[in-house]
Every structure is written in C-alpha cells, then in structure tokens.
Structure 1
Amino acid sequence: MKNIVHKWSQISLVKRILIGIIVGILLALTIPEATSWVSILGSLFVGALKAVAPILVLFLVMNAISGHKAGKKTNMKTIIGLYVIGTVLAGVVGVVASFLFPVSITLKPSAEGVAPPEGILEVIQTLLNNIVANPVSAIINANYLGILAWAILLGFALKKSADSTKTMIANFSDATTNIVKWVIELAPFGILGLVFDAIYTNGLETLVEYGQLLVLLLSCMFFVALVINPLITFIYTRQNPYPLVLRTLRESALTAFFTRSSAANIPVNMALCEKLGLDKDTYSVSIPLGATINMAGAAVTISVLTLATAHTIGTDVDIWTAIILVVLSAVSAAGASGVPGGSLLLIPLACSLFGISNDIAMQVVGVGFIIGVLQDSCETALNSSSDVLFTATADIANKRSQG
C-alpha cells in the first residue's frame, strides 16, 4: 500500500487531476446510482479549501506586512493596474463580440428568490461594508475584503513588535501553508467527485436551447484567456507569454473550473505562485485581492447577457451607451459575489442602463443559472488563473526593469 501511495504521489498533480476527471466521467456514465458516496468527495474537497482559505489569507498577509523590511519593493501597484486593465478589456471583448454576433434568447425561466442590487451605489456600499466588517464574522463568512483589511491593519500594527511575535506569526503562516499542501494533494479525488456530481445532476441537455448564447460567452472568455491576457503579459514582459499563460491555465484554471469558486482556489494559486518562485510578500496579498476584484470573466458575462437582452427586445444600443456598459460591467464585476453565479445578479443593474425592466432582467438571470453549468465554471477559471498570471507578469516585468 505504501508503494502504491508513493508511486501515485510521484505522478504530477495535473496528470492525477486528469485521471480523476476521466474516472469521474466513467463513473457517472456507468454507475450513476453511486451518487451519494462519490459526490461527497467533491463537497469535502471544496469544503476543505473554503475552510482553510480565510485563515491562510489572514496569516499570510499579516506575516508579509509585519515582516516587510523598509525599502523592499513589492509589485502591488503594477498588479492592481493589470487587474483593472484585464477586467476592462474583458468587458470590451464582451461588448464587441455581442455587436458582431448578436444573440437573442427565449425568456422563459424565472429566478425567484434572488435579489439583485438596485444600483451601482449599492454595490459600492456593499464593498465598503465588507471592508469594515467584524473580523470574526469576516473569517466565518469568508468575506475576503474584510479579512484583507484586518490582516493589513494588524500587519502594520505588528511591524514594530518583538521578533518572537513575528516568528510566531510566521510559524502559523507556514503551518497553514502546509495544511493547504495536504488538501491540494487530495485534489484528484475531490475533482473526481465534482465531475461525477456535475454530470449526474445537470447533464448537458439543458444547455441545448441556449447553445448559441453559451458559445458566444465561452468564446469571449477563451479569447480573453488566450489572446488578450497573453497580449497584456507580452507588453509588460517583452517575452513569449504562452508558456506562463498555459501553465496558469493548466494548474490554476483546471481546479477553478470544477470548484467554481475563486475563494476556494486561493490555496491552489498560492501554491502555484510558490512553484513559480514569486515574491511571497507580493502574492500573499495579490492572490486574495485578485479573488475579490479581478473578475474578467464576470465582466464578459455581464456585458454579453445584457446586450443579448437588449437585442432580444429590440433596444438600439449606440456607441456611447456601449462604452458606459464596458465601464459599468468592469466596476460591477469587481463587486460580484464570490459564490457560484454571483455575477448573474448584477445583470439587472446593467440592464437598467438601457431602461430594461427588472422583470425581464430577472428572466435573463434565470437563463444564466441554466447555462451556469459551463458559463460559471469557465468564468471562475478565467478569473482565478488571471490572478496568478498578472502577479507573475508584474514580477517578471520588475526583474526585467532592474536587470
């Protein structure tokens, strides 16, 4: 048994995950009655990631800031700039693609029980309230803006503390990181369960009616991932971006696709940044921040579904309104909830720009939940992998400028 475990651990994690995907598909097609004991693997894996991520972020950020030496530079300004550029350009891609390939949708579904924000001020107010949330409730509810705010404040407050205190914080940070590594080692089994559950629960039949809309959405996301993001990376690094892009897609996007949670993928991204040899003081802040505000996939979803609604009801969209939609989708995306389908609840806000009633907009939200089997998975994969890509891009660009 020991030899089997050893040989299994020697296989690269990506290959083990692919094995898990294949086994999950085969089990779903051959013994669907096994749903109770196979699906639990997926829920346990996602639960473990979500449980450890808030503690990981708190201690990593506290440790990075309290132990930061005066005069040592980080790349946070560049990374935040990249997050903004990436999200805005994703909104542009969604708008342009919707004009080039207009899609109309059948407005049948309802989306009862969900409450979209009433305006952009409500989105901003929610963001600010999250920042000043009680630290204990922030950890319990996985409110990463609140966790970041308290971790940063505590980090600065502890900068002048005794070395023994800083060592204790560093030890907690290292211990949490080790727990994360143990959880990630179980990823193949967790993803096996997630794949099985997705195929057993949803199938693909429900996607056929909305296939054209889904193709447009996913095409935009793939274009951002394989053209826009590499172009941004090339401009900053002046080197072939695709080895880095493909690695982030393989090692970050793959797990994010199945967990459908940027928050749950934070530990995976942290581990990848460590493999890439990035500055820990930087990525310990940029990765959790990116999971909160770097939402290129959400910007695509909001812009495409809003314009699909406008095309469906025959609303004319001029160039200036389209530009406003790009900005609105980028700002709204940064305020999207970190839960699966969170970006869909911001569609009524964008639809109000065109005078589209909330009743119609909520029907579109219902359509979004139907196609969310693939849409939300690809959206999260794009969002999460971009966090690592832009963190690495800033690091490479900084080293290039210094040397």
Structure 2
Amino acid sequence: MKFKFGLLPRVISAIALGILFGLFMPEWFTRIALTFNSIFGNFLNFIIPLLILGLVAPGIADLGAKAGRLLLITVALAYAFTLFSGFGTFFTAEAILPSMLGSAEMAAPAESASTMAPYFTVEMPPLMGVMTALVLAFVLGLGMAYIHSDRLKGMMDDFKLIIERVIAKVIIPLLPFYIFGIFLSITQSGQVAGVLGVFIKLIVLIFVMTVVLLLIQFAIASIVARQNPLKMLRTMMTAYLTALGTQSSAATIPVTLAQTIKLGVRPEVAGFVIPLCATIHLSGSMMKITACSLAVMMMSGLDVSIGTFAGFITLLGITMIAAPGVPGGAIMAAIGLLESMLGFDEPMMGMMIATYIAMDSFGTATNVTGDGAIAVIVNAIDRRSHAKNSSSSDKNEDAESTLPQKA
C-alpha cells in the first residue's frame, strides 16, 4: 500500500523547517526562498480572478438550473448558517483575541522582507480585478441559468475543470514551499515565538467555537423536527470523524448521507440536500477564515471594523460556493477578497494560508456535520407541507361529497 503524505503534514513540515532553517541559514538562501515566494505570489495574484470566475459562475448556474422549492429552502438555510457562523465568529473573536494576542505582531517580518529582496521577480498582472471577476461570475452564472445555455455552460464547466487542475496540481503542491519561505522570513526577523504562540491558541479557540456552532445548529434542528439534539449530533459523529481524515466534504458524502438517513430524514430528501450542501454550506470554513483573518489583521496593526467585515463575510459566503473538493479549496477561493477588501499583503497571506490549512480538517468536519442539521430541518418542513396539502385535499374531497347530486 502506497503511503500518501497529505497536505497538512507537508504544511507542518514546511513550518518546522522554515523555523529551523531561519535560525542558521545565510542571506543567499533566504533570498532564494524570497525569490520563489515573489514569483508564486505574483502567480496567485494572476490566477485569483480566473479562479473566482471559474468556480463561482458554474456554481450559480447549477443552482439556478435546479430551481425548486426544496432548493430555495436548502440554499437559504445553508447561507443563513454560514452567515451566522461568520458574524458570530467576528463578535466572539473580536472580544477574545486582543487579550489572547498580547504584544504579538507581524509588522517586523514585512520590514525584514523589504531589506532582504529576492534576486528577481516575474510580473504577472491579472486580467481583471477581483471584484470585476466576482460581478462577471454573477452575471454569467445567473444568465446561463436564465437562458438555459448549454453551450456556454459546457465551456464554463470545462474552464472550471482547468482551474481545479491548476489548484490541485500546481498551487496546492507548491503551497508548502511558499509557507516555508514565510516562516523562514518570520524566524530571521525574531518574531517566530510570538507568532507560533498565537498560532496554537487560535487553533484551540476555533476548535471550541466549532463545537459551540454545531450545538447551536442541532438545537435549531431539534426545535423544528422535535428530536433530541445531542442524539442527532452523536449520530453524525461518524461523518465528523470521516471528514477529519478526508479533509473533503465531497469525499465524505456517502458517509454523511448514510448518517443523515439514520436521523430519520427520508432518503429522497437526504439524497438531494447532502450533495448540495457539500458545496454551498461552509459554516466551518467561514469560521476559520473569519477568525484567522481577524487575528492576522490585529497582529499586523490593521483597522478592524464591523463595516468592512460585514461586506467581506456576505461576499465570502457566496464566493466559496463550489470550492474544489481539495484540501484548502475554500481559502483559495477567499484569497481575492482577503486582498481586495481586507488589505492583506504577502506575509499576511502566507500566515493566513498556513493557519487555515492547519485547521482544515476541523472546518470540513464542521461543514459536513452541519449538513445533517440542515437536512433534518428541510425534511421537517417538507413533511409538514405534504401533511398540510394532504389535509387540504381531504377537505376538498369531503366538501365535494356533500354537494347535492344531479338526478
């Protein structure tokens, strides 16, 4: 059996080696790492608008093509839970992080990087801005759904496959080297101890918040479906543990589906809701990105305001739709908004990606477990609707039977 060295172990190894090498490596080695980071960072800036266009437009078109009552209910619940996670995380982290961060900062690594320049760089200007790509994705996605354009939809699906291949075969494999360079620079600036301390505390904080989020989601489901929330959550733990290993909502669908049916959800409802939520319900991913971005901004001395984050969270819930089923897919889809709306630079982005991937399993597990809560709610609403329609139909039949019959 061939052993597979996953993304998380590679990222952890990159962080450890970056810290170790940063303690004794000479300037020429660091400049080589900075040269790679400069080129890779420019490539990321180039691919981000294409990534948004390639992922969001087909995702919106797929949703529009499946127009129906259950679809609208499922999408509304998934987006509502994702927004609840984002805003809840913002207010919680804003209250807790200042005391947790202490005097830790990221300003010094940026200054250090500016005094030690890369040997050369390759400019790769993006074809369009991030917001332009997002608006174009909305227009194309809604347009394809409205006119039922099979030809354009086929082209966009092919384009999405290309973007997914670029992410899976180029960006994700090179990310550990990029993170290695970031932590190499941080170590040589003398800030690594404070940054790592915050890194570990942030992981613990987000894990605790994911547990609270799941309890809230299943408490809501229990009110709607009149079931025991802890019993439902215990049933979904199989899917949670499976997602910890796969780091992919899509790969966990069979297990999530089986456990959801055990909750009493009708198979036809579960078979519709679970695959759909695997791409549109991202409460766990939203929590990680919001908390990590808040921490990085506070460490970098940037202004944190609810006005800025309200727009960021609202758009992020849409931008992450149909993020590829590879580890780190959600953060790849979010990079454009982090740069354009929150003002992230290269060192901040590297720290953000490293922190996110270190917790990728927990976020994915939270996403798929919450899918079960959404399926329970949708099933309860659909069942009551059928019962109401059946009752109305029986009343109509009774009324017709009491009418006088013609001779």
TM-score clears 0.5: yes
Whether 2:62 is the aligned partner of 1:98: answer no
Distance 1:284 1:269 in 2: 10
Which letter does structure 2 place at the counterpart of 1:384? V
Whether 2:48 is the aligned partner of 1:84: answer no
Distance 1:242 1:142 in 2: 40
Distance 2:88 2:301 in 1: 21
1:122 pairs with 130, 133, 142, which one? 133
* Paired residues of 2:210 and 2:284 also in contact (CA < 8 A): yes
Structure 2: give runs of 5+ residues left out of the alignment: 8-61, 114-120, 146-152, 165-194, 389-407
Q: Residues 350 and 215 (structure 1 numbering): CA distance in 2 closer, same or farther, change over 3 Å?
A: farther
Distance 1:337 1:394 in 2: 25
- Which residue matches 2:280? 293
2:259 pairs with 263, 272, 277, which one? 272
Distance 1:380 1:258 in 2: 10
- Which residue matches 1:331? 318
Distance 1:89 1:223 in 2: 12
Distance 2:227 2:289 in 1: 32
Distance 1:396 1:276 in 2: 11
* C-alpha deviation, 1:79, in angstroms: 2.1
Query: How big is each residue's C-alpha offset from its partner over 1:142-195, in whole Å with a ceiling of 9 and x where there is no partner?
Result: 98xxxxxxxxxxxxxxxxxxxxxxxxxxxxxxxxxxxxxxxxxxxxxxxxxxxx
Which letter does structure 1 place at the counterpart of 2:3? S
Which letter does structure 2 place at the counterpart of 1:122? A
Query: How big is each residue's C-alpha offset from its partner over 1:207-228, in whole Å with a ceiling of 9 and x where there is no partner?
Result: 766101212222222221122x
Distance 1:360 1:41 in 2: 26
* Paired residues of 1:233 and 1:393 also in contact (CA < 8 A): yes
- Which residue matches 1:174? none
Q: Residues 323 and 209 (structure 1 numbering): CA distance in 2 closer, same or farther, change over 3 Å?
A: closer
Q: Residues 322 and 137 (structure 1 numbering): CA distance in 2 closer, same or farther, change over 3 Å?
A: closer
- Equivalent residues in 2 for 1:244-393, closer than 5 Å: 244-248=232-236, 250-334=237-321, 336-352=323-339, 356-368=343-355, 372-373=357-358, 375-393=359-377
Which letter does structure 1 place at the counterpart of 2:214? A
Q: Residues 354 and 335 (structure 1 numbering): CA distance in 2 closer, same or farther, change over 3 Å?
A: same
* C-alpha deviation, 1:346, in angstroms: 4.2
Which letter does structure 1 place at the counterpart of 2:205? L
* Paired residues of 1:301 and 1:343 also in contact (CA < 8 A): no
* Paired residues of 1:348 and 1:361 also in contact (CA < 8 A): no
Which letter does structure 1 place at the counterpart of 2:233? V
Q: Residues 140 and 384 (structure 1 numbering): CA distance in 2 closer, same or farther, change over 3 Å?
A: same
Distance 2:163 2:238 in 1: 23
- Which residue matches 2:55? none
- Equivalent residues in 2 for 1:12-91, closer than 5 Å: 37=1, 39=3, 75-91=70-86
Distance 1:297 1:280 in 2: 25
Aligned residues: 273
Which letter does structure 2 place at the counterpart of 1:86? F
Distance 1:238 1:121 in 2: 45
- Which residue matches 1:4? none
* C-alpha deviation, 1:323, in angstroms: 2.3
Whether 2:373 is the aligned partner of 1:396: answer no
Distance 1:269 1:277 in 2: 13
* Paired residues of 1:302 and 1:350 also in contact (CA < 8 A): no
Which letter does structure 2 place at the counterpart of 1:233? A
1:243 pairs with 218, 221, 231, which one? 231
Which letter does structure 2 place at the counterpart of 1:265? T
* C-alpha deviation, 1:304, in angstroms: 1.2
Q: Residues 319 and 339 (structure 1 numbering): CA distance in 2 closer, same or farther, change over 3 Å?
A: same
* Paired residues of 2:75 and 2:280 also in contact (CA < 8 A): no
Q: TM-score, normalised by structure 1?
A: 0.56
Distance 1:141 1:386 in 2: 30
Which letter does structure 2 place at the counterpart of 1:224? L
2:209 pairs with 220, 230, 236, which one? 220
Which letter does structure 2 place at the counterpart of 1:97? T
Distance 2:157 2:343 in 1: 40
Distance 1:125 1:287 in 2: 28
* C-alpha deviation, 1:341, in angstroms: 1.1
Q: SS state of the match for residue 305, structure 1?
A: helix
- Which residue matches 2:175? none
* Paired residues of 1:230 and 1:245 also in contact (CA < 8 A): yes
* C-alpha deviation, 1:135, in angstroms: 10
Q: Residues 126 and 263 (structure 1 numbering): CA distance in 2 closer, same or farther, change over 3 Å?
A: farther
Q: SS state of the match for residue 300, structure 1?
A: helix
Q: SS state of the match for residue 248, structure 2?
A: coil
* Paired residues of 2:82 and 2:286 also in contact (CA < 8 A): yes
Q: State the identity %.
A: 23
* C-alpha deviation, 1:355, in angstroms: 5.0
Q: Residues 272 and 74 (structure 1 numbering): CA distance in 2 closer, same or farther, change over 3 Å?
A: farther
Q: Residues 120 and 238 (structure 1 numbering): CA distance in 2 closer, same or farther, change over 3 Å?
A: farther
